[in-house]
Structure 1
Amino acid sequence: MSIRRIESGPRMSQAVIHGHTVYLAGQVGAPGESVAAQTKAILAAIDQLLAKAGSAKSKILQAIIWLDDMANFAEMNAVWDAWVDPANTPARATGEAKLAGPEYKVEIIVTAALD
């Protein structure tokens, strides 16, 4: 079974397709922006990467969301709820983690189907 990589670099690829599954790298927004602004930017990046892979948000199987502080859960969810396809919500987990730097407040990782 072939493997296709999208936006590959020396350390990682932004997306990897294996079989009928698309795996996205963790996406982050602009450093220092609000939780809502970072979440909007992340979801736009996810839309773009899924389109490049031949998928869409309606085909997301799983989402893993990391917040720098669970106090930001409602702010992130307000943006997520406006974006997610309500007829095709994925399995999802949200947790608190120390992200790559203090300027990052949200990181989202998704896995999606191609068909």
Structure 2
Amino acid sequence: MSDIKRMEIGTRMSKIVINNGVVYLAGQVAEDATKDIKEQTRTMLAKVEALLAEAGSDKEHMLSATLYIRDMKDFAQMNEVWDAWVPEGHAPARACVEARLARPELLIEVSVVAAQK
């Protein structure tokens, strides 16, 4: 039996769940949904980085990422930010799907799984 640790627990979800050295992050979105895809991606990834640090991990330990993008027309611009953010040689398994998000002004959301350091 394993110990499940939940952090930043809310009514609906925990922002971080850790089990057997694996970190699961709740979906993260931009700080300011009025910004363009590049800025939304930057601030979303900054939130991911902060949560990973809180959980004893970092972007070099990401195992997988699922990106939800409102419109694939923004795919190339989103990838410019993503590619600059992911450390070379440490790209996680990744999926990117076009999806309706919780609010129409949101352009991108990510869900990340990582190993603890």
Normalising by structure 1, we get a TM-score of: 0.97
Secondary structure of 1:11's counterpart equals coil
Normalising by structure 2, we get a TM-score of: 0.95
Q: Does 2:42 align with 1:40?
A: yes
Aligned counterparts of 2:40 and 2:14: Cα–Cα separation in 1 = 20
Superposed displacement of residue 38, structure 1: 0.7
Superposed displacement of residue 96, structure 1: 0.1
Aligned counterparts of 1:94 and 1:44: Cα–Cα separation in 2 = 19
Secondary structure of 1:31's counterpart equals coil
Other-structure match for 1:59: 61
Q: Does 2:111 align with 1:109?
A: yes
Aligned counterparts of 1:57 and 1:76: Cα–Cα separation in 2 = 17
Secondary structure of 2:74's counterpart equals helix
User: Counterparts of 1:18-29 in structure 2 under 5 Å?
Assistant: 18-29=19-30
Other-structure match for 1:11: 12
Secondary structure of 1:27's counterpart equals coil
Superposed displacement of residue 82, structure 1: 0.7
Aligned counterparts of 1:6 and 1:72: Cα–Cα separation in 2 = 32
Superposed displacement of residue 44, structure 1: 0.4
Other-structure match for 2:96: 94
Stretches of 4+ moved more than 3 A in 1? none
The number of residue pairs the alignment matches comes to 115
Superposed displacement of residue 103, structure 1: 0.6
Unmatched 5+ stretches in structure 1:
none
Unmatched 5+ stretches in structure 2:
none
AA at the equivalent of 2:95: A
Other-structure match for 2:84: 82
